[in-house]
Amino acid sequence: MSMAQLREPQPALRTNIVDYLLEHSAAPEHASRPYIIAPDRVWSFSALAERAARIGNLLKSLDVKPGDRVLFSAMDGIDFPALLLGIMKIGAVALPINTYLKAQDYLYYITDSDAQVVIVDHGLMPLIEQVRADAPCLRHIIALRGPVAGYPLLDDLIASQSAHCDSYPTDPDAMAFWLYSSGSTGQPKGVVHTGNHMFWSAELFGFGALGITKDDVILSPPKMYFAFGLGNQVYFPIRSGARILANPDAITPQRVWDAWLEHRPTAVFGVPTLFAGMLRYAEEHIGQERVREASARLRLCISGGEILPPSLMQRWREYVGVDILDGVGTTEMTHMFLINRPGQPVPGSCGRLVAGYSAEVVDDEGRPVRKGEIGNLRMFGPSAAREYWNKPERTALTMAKGGVLTGDKVFEDEVGNFFMVGRADDMLRVGGIWVSPAEVEGVIAQHANVLECAVIGTPDEENMIKPKAFVVPRTPVADSEAFVADLRAFVRERLAHVKCPRWFAVVEELPKTSTGKIQRFRLRAGEDGGAPT
């Protein structure tokens, strides 16, 4: 099969997911093509395949057996995909972990998964050392990218290993990798995924919905350990032969634009907060002409993780010349299952079903609601996880009836567009009606001097929940009270009184995850730093 045929749906995954991913890109006629364009060097698909094989052989020499868990925390670059593939190639279970955690977080992941081997960036080793004594299951700890006294370095260990490693004949429905949930509503949950889940996410979304091919140049700032970034930077491009622009450093608008301007991507993935920051940076430091020139090959801008405000969608299109297509995915569903269609995005909608997926919108008792009514989104599809590791009660609540309750409150219109109105735990019941924080945020974001905002529910003096808005100004404001008064009047002109925030807090920034999502639970806990007005 040629590389040009990769968009044709495959009948089924037959064996080890790694063989599927590397089937074409690592073949002799394509192996020299670039996969990762990193700040320090370019890595080809053959270099990836060889490094993954060496890692697989190393793990076998360390007595890692099929089904054993191997936890790794790697910065974006060649080590992340090579570790993922090397671990899965021998039938072990890969656990990619966030690189921005505290020591106790790593201890939780190690003990929850019973990981036998931990491979982490050299900069994270002090955190692992803090908790090593509390993790007796650990047999090996290996450093990445740089030496750490007392620990072996991955590059040294794999240097003597063979560049060929036979793939273990894994059942496609056996667990192959886990993705831990963020833990914003309790302890993180290990979402157990199989090779088939990765296969179907690639076939249905990566190639079916997006049409990723070997000719794409992908810029995806969301990190590889994030479910969103894992597809965009790892298994979509490896299977298709596309190249990616990877950076191990923290995400900033400037770094993203530097890569964009130099390499002229064809597909860009991000979250609304990032797109808003990038637009502001471009307006202040780059200029529309250079942005338009660098976007000449751009065919896709995909947004996920948060609701995309229609005002941002419009401003981006007017400035860059390409629509942002909003979509929805979850860790439990492996990747995206809703997406707006190229050429016909619907403002305010998070898209339509990706072919191969189905959905129910149900009330709190699990009964389907009529179209147009708000309910809980339950997704069905071949990439749906079937369990949280060692959490049967949570599994039963979320993954009953063969689907996944995503925790999102949505409604569907008559033609199949879905509209996100907030998370189930973010929706506000005000004056006896549901108030969507996303709707309020969308109106506030239309104000000329608002960069970004977030709305939560806060009890008033009578312990009744009312909306509270946290607002980051586009330009500094000398008089906060006057700014808030103007904001309040602006919102009241556009929303019913019950939906208008009772309080506004002007803040310099909003708390976010390492992938750019606004952490509303931290705002609810009072970690904002802005005085309400």
d(CA 336, CA 469): 29
491 CA to centre of own chain: 31
d(CA 315, CA 27): 43
- As a 3-state breakdown, the chain gives helix, strand, coil percent values, each rounded to 5, of 35, 25, 45
* Domains of the chain, each with CATH number or no CATH: 41-194 (3.40.50.980), 251-381+391-423 (3.40.50.12780), 428-524 (3.30.300.30)
Q: Which helix (H) or strand (E) holds 140?
A: strand 140-144
Place of tokens 């509270």: 468
d(CA 76, CA 80): 6
Task: Write the DSSP string, 115-134.
Answer: -SEEEEEGGGHHHHHHHGGG
Spatial contact of 495 and 528, defined as CB atoms under 8 Å apart: no
d(CA 220, CA 232): 6
Q: Residue 147 CB: number of other CB atoms within 10 A?
A: 13
d(CA 79, CA 70): 14
Which residue, among 206, 419, 222, has the nearest Cα to 300 in the 3D structure?
Answer: 206
User: Per-residue confidence of the chain (533 residues) as pLDDT tens digits?
Assistant: 333 333 445 568 988 999 999 999 999 999 999 999 999 999 999 999 999 999 999 999 999 999 999 999 999 999 999 999 999 999 999 999 999 888 988 999 999 999 999 999 999 999 999 999 999 889 999 999 999 999 999 999 999 999 999 999 999 999 999 999 864 345 789 999 999 999 999 999 999 999 999 999 999 999 999 999 999 999 999 999 999 999 999 999 999 999 999 999 999 999 888 998 999 999 999 999 999 999 999 999 999 988 888 989 999 999 999 999 999 999 999 999 999 999 899 999 999 999 999 999 999 999 999 999 999 999 999 999 999 999 999 999 999 888 999 999 999 999 999 999 877 777 787 865 778 888 899 999 999 999 999 999 988 876 778 899 999 999 999 999 999 999 999 999 998 888 899 999 999 999 988 778 888 888 988 865 455 56
